[in-house]
Chain A
Amino acid sequence: MKPYDNRAWFLALPALVIVTFVGILPLVAVTNYSFQDLFSLSNPYWVGVDWYRNIVISERFYASLGRSFLFSAIVLSIQLPLGIWIALLLQRSHRFVVSTVLVLITVPLVVPWNMIPVIWLNFINPNIGLAGRMLAWLGVGFDYKFNALHTWIVLVVMDTWHWLGLVVVLAYAGISSIPPAYYQAAAIDAASPWQVFRFIQLPKMKTVLSMAMLLRFMDSFMIYIEAFRINAGGPNSATAFLSLELGEEIQSFNYGPSAARSIVYFLIVLTVAWIFKAATITRGPAAMEPAK
């Protein structure tokens, strides 16, 4: 048990001050704007909850919400199993293989986000792109501009390319923290590989995997720059996700409505974080490890 000492606050205080300054204060400031019509910042006009009502009653909002949920669901159901599988295979590999694969797979994480769509648009360009020419040669009529399904495929593949490394790193971190004694015990009990996975590896990976799930959920749910650059929400709003609408509104300097939208989205984030916390706390004791 950790000693109880409130002087520890002094150590945490600098971090809290900065987070307050760049996180909490801006949100407080903007809450004010969300209740006003601001033709310019010096000319506020109180409109109450009008902006919020506009969001909550608009069908577009729910359509985008649904698309964002669908996108996150697809992304999670591909990236989590794939990442866990790669991590499981890595665990049985030689050290050199492990570091090579980890280095390779994390490379897309260091690509600036505005360049990821540029790289992919270049790659799937039917005239000059490797993948684009390959598809044309195979006779696939690939058209990410006007075919909604194809835009979705590009987005999902691109997102997987971008983020698979994070899932693999986290999953591998979870697996490699399992002491060998667990596997020895499993071998004595003649456990099958599935049983080893189900009853040893998965429970031991739970904390890092829930973290990976949370990060991947939130980032895909609010995907912005990448999706915008690929097809600007098109074709026909088929890829208009939540963030794209907010981005659009901020770009056109509609202070009031975009402030209200920011607050609504932040409340969604807060809810997700709270659900995550509630879900992991009930499983708390299992995740608590003796100090290594």
Chain B
Amino acid sequence: MKSLSFLGRIALFAMVGAFVLVPLAQTIMTSFVSTLPRAGIAEGHFSLINYLNILHSPVLKEAILNSIIYVVLNVALCLGVGLPAAYAFARYSFVGDRQLFFLLLVFRITPTVVLSLPIFVLFAQIGLENTPVGIALVHCVFNIPISIWILEGFIASVPREFDETAFLDGHSLPSFFFRHLVPAIAPGIGVTAFFCFIFSWVEVVLARILTTTGGKPITMAINALFGFRTDFGLVMAMTVLALVPGIAMIYFVRNHLAKGFVIRT
């Protein structure tokens, strides 16, 4: 009886895995196939031509670089302002703390399409369009709340005596943050960076409206590949490349993914 339920469970997990992987498998397969007639390569056969084409395209390489710049900036910003704020929420109560938390909740769940026109109008006026910096800033609107929630959960699980001991040892607040708190909640920082990374990496509505003429990230570069005769192999190869950093991050945080969601309202 016990082994039966075990087998059933494994079968279910296998089905879930197949459900996730099969649509992706086709994408990966297509990325290794030449999908346009080309001299010397049989159409529909295995080939690395799509990846070589990316390597030889300055536009696509620049897009990859733009994506990396904005996402790294965004994660750094969110961790930088999220950590002190999360500490404040975890350790103190202050006037308006619930209201501030509610405000963060509202902006976390506001769909990007609702904010896209307002942000476009404002950012065009102050010259923050067509640059990775603009995207990095804009994505803070949903990533700062995320970073504060996750970090707050991790900080709250550290006993208060830990802080007090450090302060008694003569640490200032910044030195306590870097020397004690950050190492103590390192997995939390990893999980936070992971979630900020994925939500920023996959977002396209704001990224599109802010990069109409330049500074395009990977997602918009892929959009630009669609045309009269779309090279689907190239599109899929770019998609596969766009997945690599995310999957690498999942792998690094796999054992901590499910921790630290102590969410307060």
Contact = CB atoms under 8 A, between A and B. Distances in A.
Given A16-B100, A110-B243, A118-B235, A103 B251 contact: yes
Interface in A6-62: 6-9, 11-12, 14-16, 18-19, 21-23, 25-27, 29-30, 33, 41
B58 interface: no
Contacts of B259: 173, 176
A106 B250 contact: yes
B111 A222 contact: yes
B1 interface: no
B100 A29 contact: no
A15 B85 contact: yes
Nearest to B102: A277
Contact of A4 (B82, B93, B107): B93
User: Is chain B's binding surface mostly helix, strand, loop or mixed?
Assistant: helix
Interface in B219-265: 219, 222-223, 232, 235-236, 239, 242-243, 245-247, 249-251, 254-255, 257-265
Interface stretch (A70-78, A178-186, A231-239, A242-250): A242-250
B70 interface: no
Nearest to B110: A269
B137 A22 contact: yes
A187 interface: no
A265 B23 contact: no
A56 B255 CA distance: 49
Nearest to B112: A224
Contacts of B205: 113, 224-225, 247
A191 interface: no
A15 B94 contact: no
Interface string A243-269: 100110010000100110010011001
A280 B27 contact: no
A30 B118 contact: yes
A202 interface: no
Contacts of B12: 86, 89
A153 interface: no
A135 interface: no
B247 A107 contact: yes
A126 interface: no
Contact of A22 (B95, B119, B245, B264): B119
B122 A169 contact: no
Contacts of B114: 222, 243, 246, 262, 265-266, 269
A211 interface: yes
B189 interface: no
A25 B159 CA distance: 38
B47 interface: no
Given A23-B115, A120-B23, A5 B92 contact: yes
B261 A173 contact: yes
A119 interface: yes
A250 B243 contact: no
Contacts of B25: 130
A15 B144 contact: yes
Given A18-B81, A214-B109, A122 B27 contact: yes
Interface of B: 9-10, 12-13, 16-17, 19-27, 30, 77, 80-82, 84-85, 87-89, 91-97, 100, 102-107, 109-111, 113-119, 121-122, 137-138, 140-141, 144-145, 148, 156-157, 159, 198, 201-205, 209, 218-219, 222-223, 232, 235-236, 239, 242-243, 245-247, 249-251, 254-255, 257-265
Given A29-B121, A112-B242, A165-B20, 11 more contacts: A7-B94, A101-B17, A103-B254, A109-B246, A130-B23, A176-B259, A243-B114, A255-B121, A265-B114, A269-B114, A272-B109
Q: 7 closest A-B pairs (Cβ-Cβ)?
A: A110-B246, A26-B118, A222-B111, A30-B118, A11-B88, A8-B92, A8-B88
15 contacts: A6-B94, A18-B77, A22-B140, A86-B12, A104-B16, A104-B17, A108-B20, A110-B247, A114-B222, A123-B26, A170-B261, A172-B258, A173-B261, A266-B114, A269-B111
